[in-house]
A = this chain, B = another copy of it.
């Protein structure tokens, strides 16, 4: 399976970050539902042609973020939303995806570049933490 994960070695974003971000998005979207098994670090590393330690680092950060969970021999599985342990089938992020897409549409209509959208989001997130 290893659904749609790929790395671009020529990118400025390091491979472990690409892997982490892609898996994070897939989980948030619901493509990787709670309980899904992620590929083993060795198999994913082999598929991507990189070292196992690189994949392991991505998994480690995802686990620290509470998105996945490692069972030693059983591999790595996706953790469900902390608040909703029962809901298995429903994609939890449909509303969030809609909000993201709406933001992209609004921003582009206003002539705001993609980079600036991210800058803005970062800035608002930071200020919402403080205030």
Chain A residues proximal to chain B, CB less than 8 Å: 20-22, 24-25, 27-29, 65-67, 81-84, 92-93, 95-104, 106-107, 110-125, 128
What copy number does this chain have within its complex?
Answer: 2
CB distance from A23 to the nearest CB of B (A): 9
DSSP class of A's interface residues: helix, strand, loop or mixed? Answer: helix
Q: Are A104 and B117 in contact (CB under 8 A)?
A: no
Q: Are A121 and B117 in contact (CB under 8 A)?
A: yes
- What are 7 A-B contacts defined by CB distance under 8 Å? A20-B119, A65-B113, A65-B115, A92-B111, A96-B110, A99-B106, A100-B121
Q: How far is the CA of A11 from the CA of B25 in the complex (A)?
A: 24
Residues of B within 8 A of A104 (CB): 121, 124-125, 128
